[in-house]
Amino acid sequence: MEQKLKVFLTVVKHMNFSRAAEELFITQPAVSQYIKSFEEELGIKLIDRTNKKIRLTKAGSLVAYYGGEIFMLNEKMKQAVEDLAGEVKGKLAVGASYSFGEYILPHIVADFLAKFPAVDPYITIGNTQEIAEKVIHNEIDLGVVEGTVASDKLIAEKIASDKMYVIKGKKENAEKRVHLNEETWIVREQGSGTREAFEWFAAKNGIRPTKILEFGSTQIIKEAVEAGLGVALLSEWTIRNELELEKLKIVGGGNLYYERNFYAIIPDAPFMTKTAETFLHFLRRD
């Protein structure tokens, strides 16, 4: 059944029999035979084929969802068995929220690979909620996120802290006094740890913005602030270069800030691969 499921999931991935055959290095008739045999084994039709197009039946969608999880768990099982040999190697799937993932994680991974060159890293960047979902569904081994994640399916451990500062564009009039309630605030989307930090910061300091602009990445926010569109609350990690180049300026001389924590999140499960566990220890060290 394992091979039939693999063929089915590959067809679902491409929604095309020919492309699935190319990826699997088998013929298109062989793909069709695998799908037919799989449908006979399950006793239900999984794929409708009409006018050279295919679509999943309701049963096909269910099998694709649960089959995907089964396949990923099967791969994790094989990795865990290989780990008994004691060598740190193979695939390492790590996810991180934007601030940590884009500015800190690359350096940590580079140091890790210098010590364990047989590891094959796969990095995913997303907002906090997206990374948490990927860990829960076993799409990645572990994640590093900012903010809180409410789930009994995850274990969270603090690994780093960070200060966030209010910034404005350097081009703005230096004598102009910043009135935080009157400023346009440029923020990240809902579900982002940076957005959650802003909301905590605003509540703590009694800030009720009259206007908010919502952007989907830290880089766009920095560009918008530099262009004079408003102010933002961003991590010190993300603005170092812009401060050195004098493109941005910290409001309040660094006395107005928000301190937050970053957490490693792993599935609440009895096992981790040796490679993932070793990387988690590496994160604790850093």
- Say whether both 150 and 220 belong to one domain: no
| pLDDT recorded at residue 120 | 93
87 or 199, higher pLDDT: 199
- In tens, the pLDDT along 145-199 reads 987 788 889 999 999 888 999 999 986 554 456 688 889 999 998 888 889 889 9
Q: What is the CA angle 255-259-260, rounded to 5? A: 165
The reply to whether 16 and 72 lie within a common domain is: yes
For residue 75, what are the domain limits?
2-83
Q: Domain ends where: 83, 101, 132?
A: 83
Query: Does residue 166 sit in the same domain as residue 247?
Result: yes
What pLDDT is attached to residue 111? 94
* Res 175: pLDDT: 47
Nearest-angstrom CA–CA distance, 28 and 33: 9
The answer, yes or no, to whether residue 247 has pLDDT greater than 80, is yes
Residue 107 neighbours by CB distance under 10 Å: 10
What is the reported pTM?
Answer: 0.63
The last residue of a domain, from among 61, 83, 105? 83
| CATH classification of the domain holding 39 | 1.10.10.10
Do both 106 and 246 map to the same domain? no
Asked if residue 236 and residue 105 are part of one domain, the reply reads: no
Structural domains in the chain (count): 3
Residue found under tokens 């295919």: 54
pLDDT at position 53: 80
Q: How far apart are CA 185 and CA 142, in angstroms?
A: 32
Using CA atoms, how far apart are residues 270 and 77, in angstroms rounded to an integer? 12
> pLDDT value at position 68?
85
Quick one: 67 and 46 in the same domain? yes
The pLDDT tens digits for 91-111 are 899 999 888 998 899 999 999
Nearest in space to 170 (alpha carbons), one of 89, 124, 91, 226:
226
The torsion angles phi and psi of 152, rounded to 5 degrees, stand at: -80, 5
3-state secondary structure of 255: coil
CATH code for the domain in which residue 123 is found? 3.40.190.10
Q: String of b and e for 8-45 (b: at least 16 CB within 10 Å)?
A: bbbbbeeebbeebbeebeeeeeebbebbeebbeeeeee
Comparing 252 with 200, the larger pLDDT belongs to 200
CA distance 42 to 34: 12
Please answer whether residues 14 and 7 qualify as being in contact, where contact means their C-beta atoms are separated by less than 8 angstroms: no
- Regarding whether 128 and 71 lie in a shared domain, the answer is no
Residues 154 and 210 in one domain: no
Do 153 and 165 lie in one domain? The reply is no
Average pLDDT, the chain: 87
CA atoms in the 13 A half-sphere facing the CB of 252: 14
Residues 268-278, mean pLDDT to the nearest whole number: 85
Model confidence band, residue 281 (pLDDT cutoffs 50, 70, 90): very high
* Whole-number pLDDT of residue 181: 85
pLDDT grade for 140, boundaries at 50, 70 and 90: very high
Which class for 141: exposed (0-12), middle (13-18), buried (19 or more C-beta within 10 A)? Answer: buried
Q: Residue 173: what pLDDT?
A: 52
Q: What percentage of the chain carries pLDDT values higher than 70?
A: 94
- Shared-domain flag, residues 166 and 238: yes
